Amino acid sequence: MNKYNKKSIISSYLLIFPFVFFYFLFLLYPTIYTLIFSFTNSPLIGWGEWVGMENYIKLWNDKLFWKSLKNTFVFVFWTVAPNTIIGLICALMINRIKSYLLSGTLLACFFLPHILPVTVVTEIWGWMVSKQFGIIQELLDFWGFKRIGFFSQKTWAMPMVALITIWWTVGFNILLFIAGLKNISPDLYEASDIEGANAFQQFRFITWPLIWPITALVLTLQLIFQLKIFDQMYLLTGGGPFNSTIVVLQLVYKQGFQLNKGGYASAIAMVLFAIIVISSVFQYQLLRNKDEKQ
């Protein structure tokens, strides 16, 4: 106990104070308010009457909510694993490059989209796939395919938004993976070289197990990010065609901001909050256990 004197206790509290203060002010306080809101029939602005579980019962019977939940998970399917795998592959390739200049340039290229705001990303892609003037349509013409309305056709809309999301965010995953790869001691590879291990064996028995903690982290972060999908859908498809890309947060936006139903929107937001907490904790535990077994 006497390891910590009074002075260091005070200074440590002082040091964490700013974080705790802002955490309460901007995270916990609004979250608690949203929870209380979700039991009322409030409009977007101001208070309503207490209605108990009514919003949650309504939610249970709302077909559009279930559809948006399904769409959100379809989006997760299209993005989480692919984004992680592509990130790992790119990182492995960049890591093998001996020239600092080349690897640095490549890394910058991959990371560049990540620093763009979402509106710029969607605008760029909107023009690239524009049915009349898009460069991708010209390529389709050249290869003899029919032009495709990428954001207005049911089969294409969701995968296309996923593709753009991967293009936009994969740079961050590459960065995390490269940091992980750099941490693996070169001695291990040298030793295995002497023992005559081939490149695949090196990956399977050295790289993969040692990079697994990073992979688990990336997968979990990805799951949380992608469950919160809103911007790209709102800007590119608007939830259409016929609600085939409407996601949970978009339903929150629609109910809250367009239809002025703050209470109901809060209830949907709380359910999504619960889903994200449960699934990310569950996923992280699952992945961590696997790591420990190995």
Chain positions contacting other proteins, by CB under 8 A: 43-46, 126, 130-133, 149, 152-154, 238-243, 254, 257-260
Of 113, 95, 289, residue with least CA distance to 180: 95
Amino acid 160 reads M
> Of 147 and 288, which has the nearer Cβ to other proteins?
147
Closer residue to other proteins (CB): 222 or 266: 266
The C-alpha torsion from 39 through 45 and 49 to 54, rounded to 10°, is -40
The rounded Cα 47 to chain-centroid distance in angstroms is 32
Instruction: Enter the tokens of residue 102.
Output: 């080349």
| For other proteins, the closer CB: 154 or 182 | 154
- Taking the least distance from each CB to other proteins, the nearer of 156 and 189 is 156
Least Å distance between CB 58 and other proteins? 11
**Single-letter amino acid, residue 50:** W
CA distance 224 to 26: 19
CA angle centred on 101, ends 99 and 107, rounded to 5°? 100
Compute the distance between CA of residue 231 and CA of residue 122 in angstroms, rounded to an integer. 9
Residue in 133, 163, 156, 120 with CA at minimum distance from that of residue 237: 156
Cis preceding-peptide flag for 159 (omega within 30 of 0): no
DSSP state of 4: S
Q: Which is nearer to other proteins, 106 or 118 (CB)?
A: 118
Give CA separation, 90 vs 116, 250, 252, in Å: 20, 32, 36
CB of 235 to other proteins, least distance (A): 11
Query: Which residue, 61 or 99, has its beta carbon nearer to other proteins?
Result: 61
Minimum distance from CB of 209 to other proteins (Å)?
Answer: 48
| CB nearer to other proteins: pick between 127 and 205 | 127
Least distance (Å) between residue 67 CB and other proteins: 12
Rounded least distance, CB 48 to other proteins, Å: 13
Task: State the nearest-atom distance from the C-beta of 288 to other proteins, in Å.
Answer: 41
Shortest CB 28 distance to other proteins, Å: 21
Closest of 226, 224, 212 to residue 78, by C-alpha: 226
